[in-house]
Amino acid sequence: MRFDEYRAHDAVGLAALVAGGEATAGELLDVAVARMAEVNPKINAVTRDMTDIARAQLPLSGPPASGPLAGVPYLLKDLGSHWGGVPTTFGSRLFADVPAAADSSMTRLYRMAGLNIFGKTNTPEFGIWPVTEPHLLGACRNPWDLSRTPGGSSGGAAAAVSAGIVPAAHATDGGGSIRIPAACCGLFGMKPSRGRVSFAPAGEGWAGASIPHAVTRSVRDSAVLLDATCAPQPGDPYFLAPPERPYAQEVGRDPGKLRIGFTDKALTVGAALDPEVAEAVRDVARLCEGLGHRVEPVELPGDHAAMQAAARTILWASVAASIDAECERRGRPLAEDEIEPATHGIYRRGKATTGPEYVRAVQVVHAYGRAAAQVFERCDVFLLATLGRPAIPLGHLFEDPKRTVERLFGYMPNTQAFNNSGQPAMTVPLAWSSDGLPIGIQFVAPTGDESTLFRLAGQLEAARPWFDRVPPL
């Protein structure tokens, strides 16, 4: 199989070729590995090569493995999902040589779906940052412009998909880490509702703010992957009722006439959207109106500043707990060079956080979620920008430490809200900047209603296709 033939299909399409005998899983893996060898030196998206493991999983003879995505090459993010016996580094020297004790439930479900996992993707240390520039793994670059970030923390996943190594890749989202890199790289990125996908064997990430799923080129790939992985595991702390029908059946269904509320503003106090981004939001609002939906301006309720402060407290304490747990497991204290300087500052703040402060932070976040949910008394879907501006230059967040926080929320003012509300949110690549960079548009639905988002996404994909827009790598 040639690369252009491989690139012409999404994951569902590649699986159909394998099922129909037009290609083998081994042929698909060969193309993916060859593409990785060609482009990865430029973008540094795949940071652990597991090709030997993947080849060992291939059937020696007879039909391929069963499952809706049987034979499709796939990549795990190096955070949030384990492959037993292989280190999950979390982008940190602290975990660089610590093999995982067993597969995560996510990995097991991927394998049951027939995916052929052959590598792990780049991520910032502990998934903290919305850019992917870890000291351990090195900076990851955006295939659309190698001087810019692919986003984070699933930056390696998005760069690998955008560059054509795979049609879809595992990702996680604790403050925008699926939607941000998808927006930077011109991909579809769905963050499911809290409780939709299990974090087993872990209980939760960042007090329930983090959730795993994927970044994809097509909407239907995201739907099929979510169908394959939205399986509750014994002991999960959160649970949602299963969808009325498989998500794959929602893509292509008429979404009906939706009430869509929108804002062309930034949610973070003091932040402002780049003019091109604000105009892109207004343009997509007009697109939705032209598709028959009722569209009107709305404001998201809730104390956004208080939520952000509380979420920081939860993040600090969670990072400190992860570091301390590893030090306790191995029986020796943290060494100075095992985590990055910025992470040391977060670690110190986390260690200083008291129990009551942490509980109060969780209460503030939950109160914000209840307030934010009120927007859906007026609308079915909430539309807004994913990012404040297109992909920023590498190093931009950290070149002036006094301005890091200001630049951070100028860049990502709109994603964290929906991690802490627990609502499903997707970014859709419906606009492009004047210099050719993708602009993602975000849509949010009530908790548990991914189905409406998939129906709307399918309609938008048909109205303004993006699948054939690929970077000139």
407 neighbors 154 (Cβ within 8 angstroms) = no
CA 90 to chain centre: 15
How far apart, in whole angstroms, are the C-alpha atoms of residue 45 and residue 141? 7
258 neighbors 381 (Cβ within 8 angstroms) = yes
DSSP letter assigned to residue 129: S
How far apart, in whole angstroms, are the C-alpha atoms of residue 421 and residue 447? 8
How far apart, in whole angstroms, are the C-alpha atoms of residue 425 and residue 214? 13
238 neighbors 110 (Cβ within 8 angstroms) = no
Here the tokens at position 201 are: 């064997």
Name, in order, each residue with C-beta under 8 angstroms of 182's C-beta and a sequence gap of 6 or more. 151, 158, 188, 189, 215, 386, 427, 429, 440
Determine which one of 77, 120, 191, 265 is catalytic. 77
CB-facing half-sphere around the CA of 2: CA atoms within 13 A: 3
Name, in order, each residue with C-beta under 8 angstroms of 407's C-beta and a sequence gap of 6 or more. 392, 396, 397, 400
Name, in order, each residue with C-beta under 8 angstroms of 74's C-beta and a sequence gap of 6 or more. 11, 110, 115, 116, 117, 118, 166, 168, 169, 170
What are the beta bridge partners of residue 173? 211
How far apart, in whole angstroms, are the C-alpha atoms of residue 199 and residue 229? 11
Determine which one of 81, 153, 218, 318 is catalytic. 153
Is residue 77 annotated as part of the catalytic site, yes or no?
yes
Determine which one of 92, 104, 177, 322 is catalytic. 177
Virtual torsion, Cα 174, 180, 181, 187, nearest 10 deg: 120
Helix axes 155-162, 25-43, angle to 10 degrees: 110
Virtual torsion, Cα 232, 235, 240, 245, nearest 10 deg: 20
Amino acid letter at 192?
Answer: P
Residues serving a catalytic function are 77, 153, 177
